[in-house]
Structure formats: C-alpha cells, structure tokens
Amino acid sequence: MGMSRVTIFGGAGAMVAGAIYDLHKTSKFDEFIIADVDEESAKHLINVVLERDERFKFVKADLSDKNVVSKLLRETDYFIQAAPFSLERTFLEALMENSNLVGVDLNSFEFDYVLSLSPKLAEKNITLWFANGGLVITSSLALMGLMEVDEAEEVNIYWGMWRPLSYTTKGLTATVFYELDPTVKERIVWEEGRLRALPPFALMKEFTFPEPIGRVVTYVIAHTEPITLPYSELVKEKKVRRIIARGAWHHSWINLIKALIEAKVFEAEPITINGKKVRPIDIIIDSIPVEKEFRDPYEIAKSIGFNPTVILSAEIIGYRKGVGRRIVYHSVPPYPFFGGKPVRAMWEYGSYVGTALSITLQLMIQHEIYKTKKGVIFMETSGLSPQLVLEEFRKRGYKIIKEEY
C-alpha cells in the first residue's frame, strides 16, 4: 500500500473523536491529519487520549474555504468527512476538484442531491460512503432482522438519543432542531414503494429501549433509512410494506422544541443584526451553552445520573412460516469508550458514529470495495454483509441484543 495518509475533516468534533481513537487502536495507516479550527480539542485528543501517538498531527484549517479543503484532499489517500452539515456542500465541491480518493462521510442530509453527484465522482475514481455513522448500524440491524422472516409488514428504526439539554455541541443542537423543524421536508415514510413527507411529531409510537432509556415515546425524524433500505434486495424479496425512522430524545429537548414550534419560531422572518440577516431559530441554537471541560467519564455519568449514550434499534414486524413475528435488534455502545481517559460527555455520547466511520473505512480498503464500487455508496449498496459489519462492532465491546416475540 505504500505510505498511507488519512485526513479527518472536522476531526476535533465530538461525533468523530471515537473514529480517531478507534483508528489509533485498530488501524495500520501511516499518518493521520486532523483538520479543524478547534486546536484545544484536537490537542487534548492527541496528547491525552491517544497518548501522543506520533502518527496523528493537527492542522488548523478553515473548512468553509473550498481551496483549503481541496488542497488537503489533494495531499491525502483516504478521508473522513465529519465537518458540520452546513459545510457539506463546500466539501463536496472540493471533492469534485480531486480524483482517486476513498472516504466516508457522516452527513446524510440532502441525500438526493449527494446521490446526483455519484456519476461525476465515479468518473474521478472517487468512492464516497455517504450517510455513514449510525446509519451503518441501523441498516445492518434491520437487514439482520429481515433475513429472519419470510415476509415483512414493516421495518421500524429507532434512535435513542439520551442526553440532557445541558449537554450538547453546536452541531448536535443544529441537528436536533433540523430533525424536528416543521419547514423541513426530509421527515419521510416509505410506503409500498413511495416516499411521503411528514410533519414533526407525526406517527408517534412507544418503544422500549434497553436501560438507561427504557420505554419512551418516539417521533418521526429526518433520517435516510426509508431512502436507503429499499436499495437492498431483501426489501423487495420480503415484500416490505413500510419503512420509518423514529427517534427519542431526553424530555428536556422535546419540551424546548415543542414550545418553539407552538410559538412558530421556526417560520419567523429573519431579523437584521449588525447588518446581517439572521433566522431567530439560529440565534436560539447559538445561545444554548455547549460543554467545554474534559472530565473523568465515570464522573460525567454520575453527575448526569446515567451514561450519555445512543442506543440504536431496528424492529421487523412480519411472518415466518405463516406465524406473526416481531424481531427487535438493539446496539448498545460500551461505556466508557475512550479507556476511561478524561473526555467530554459528548465524545462518549457520539462514539457510535466514530466507531462506524473507522470500521467502514478499514473494511472498504481490506475488502477492496473501492475497486468495484465508484461514486456514492452506503450500507445497502456497499456489498458488505451486515453480519460482518456488526461483528466488528462486537469486537469493540458493543452489545448486539436480539429480542423475538
């Protein structure tokens, strides 16, 4: 393979810290570039969490500048795109100026637009695994469940996102607000081959997650499983009728967002501040304080009252040998993930995203996926089996729990 370099865009972010730790522990790449503006977080990651692993270097980079991104891509072999989704278009424009690259991208919004770039990326000999992160897990769990029935009425995906309002990052706050923004058209259900948009808080359903979440009400979210799962042959084979993705947030988040929706803040006209037009909702997003300090993960859990975590689940309702079946798979991440080193709560919370990015990047290279698959791919079109992918999570201490009714 020669010398190999991985560049991690937005590498100091909470959702990708787990990828950097996992690559440090499990991968054989020669060099890693953490490209970000946040020097403090990147240095803590390299010096404390990675114990000064010399393969990792920090490069201060303004990722809103396409030329900066393009130059970093020119100088790398592999990439992880983990910059906030507000910078996604800049990243994709820079990517299209380059060629001969393999990488993973944790963003999944504007899926149709990204998919439309696939032929152009393929021409440039680029393989981009889009909608990576937690979607790798939810899709794998759903596919596992589908293999166990003859026919399926519905596939229900559940995201249990368990952290109080006072624990967040800018990117995470923006994401929650986007998921439940009444003006967003990406909250969808797939029914008998068709997609339709839904308002926030539609099709609510109770669901029981493993502890610490337990039984909660879940809401439709703007996620891409209803778009990506139908690409799997299994969905046709098992005559699936409906696919929907729901999420549960800690009640403190739900209370806030419901109040903002009732007050019609999402639809409010932009206001002018210092000569700049700003949406009132963006001011609210910016004003929710973010977590800054690094602490012992056991102390963090003690102060919150539970481990900040994301539990992902898939439920298949169908038939086997003519008998009704309900099969549920859960993925529960290990805690603490970073070997007990001082971190932010949101690094622990987001470790599932990073683990997926690291696993899929390594599997794409080991199985030479990029040689046959060019352009935009995702779990269902990657050619990797869900068993293989989930086994990699198990090796890293994830619990994959199955329930059958």
Each residue of 146-156: pLDDT tens digit?
A: 999 999 999 99
Say if strands 194-197 and 31-36 run parallel, antiparallel, or are unpaired: unpaired
Locate tokens 């990073």: which residue? 354
Q: What average pLDDT does the structure give for the chain?
A: 97
Q: Where are the alpha helices (DSSP H) in 238-344?
A: 251-262, 280-287, 297-304
Strands (E), 82-224: 101-105, 126-129, 151-162, 188-191, 194-197, 205-208, 215-220
Closest CA to 349 of 391, 312, 387, 404: 312
pLDDT band at 3 (very low <50, low <70, confident <90, very high): confident
Average pLDDT over residues 58-79: 99
Residue 262 backbone phi and psi in degrees, to 5? -60, -35
Average pLDDT over residues 110-125: 97
CA 133 vs CA 43, 286, 373, 405: distances in Å: 23, 24, 19, 29
3-state DSSP assignment of residue 17: helix
3-state DSSP assignment of residue 81: strand
Asked whether residue 233 carries a pLDDT value surpassing 70, the answer given is yes
pLDDT above 90 coverage of the chain, percent: 95
Of the listed ranges 128-137, 173-182, 322-331, the least confidently predicted one is 173-182
Average pLDDT over residues 210-225: 96
Tokens matching residue 306: 């539970």
> What is the Cα–Cα distance from 201 to 198, expressed in whole angstroms?
9
Asked whether residue 234 carries a pLDDT value surpassing 70, the answer given is yes
Chain-centroid distance, C-alpha 354: 8
> What is the Cα–Cα distance from 124 to 95, expressed in whole angstroms?
9
Tokens matching residue 296: 């012992």
Crossing angle of the two packed helices 134-146 and 351-366, in degrees rounded to 10: 70
More confident residue, 327 or 222: 327
Domains of the chain: 5-133+354-381 (3.40.50.720), 134-350+386-404 (3.30.360.10)
Q: Which amino acid is at 391?
A: E
CA 348 vs CA 81, 103, 167, 179, 335: distances in Å: 19, 23, 11, 22, 7
Average pLDDT over residues 31-60: 98
Task: Answer for the pair 79, 55: CB distance below 8 angstroms, yes or no.
Answer: no
Task: Answer for the pair 246, 187: CB distance below 8 angstroms, yes or no.
Answer: no
Signed CA dihedral, 185, 190, 195, 201: sign only? negative
Asked whether residue 111 carries a pLDDT value surpassing 90, the answer given is yes
Query: For residue 155, how many other CB atoms are within 10 A of its CB?
Result: 31
Q: Which residues pair with 158 in a beta bridge?
A: 246, 313
CB within 8 Å of 60: residues ≥ 6 apart? 36, 37, 39
Q: Which amino acid is at 254?
A: I
Asked whether residue 6 carries a pLDDT value surpassing 80, the answer given is yes
Task: Answer for the pair 111, 378: CB distance below 8 angstroms, yes or no.
Answer: no
> What is the Cα–Cα distance from 354 to 360, expressed in whole angstroms?
10
pLDDT band at 2 (very low <50, low <70, confident <90, very high): low
CA 326 vs CA 52, 247, 320, 331: distances in Å: 48, 19, 10, 17
Asked whether residue 1 carries a pLDDT value surpassing 80, the answer given is no
HSE value, Cβ hemisphere, 13 Å, CA-based, for 218: 27
What's this model's pTM, rounded to 2 decimal places? Answer: 0.96
Q: pLDDT per residue over 250-298, tens digit each?
A: 999 999 999 999 999 999 999 999 999 999 999 999 999 999 999 999 9
CA 264 vs CA 258, 271, 280: distances in Å: 10, 15, 10
Say whether the peptide bond before residue 212 is cis (omega within 30 degrees of 0).
yes
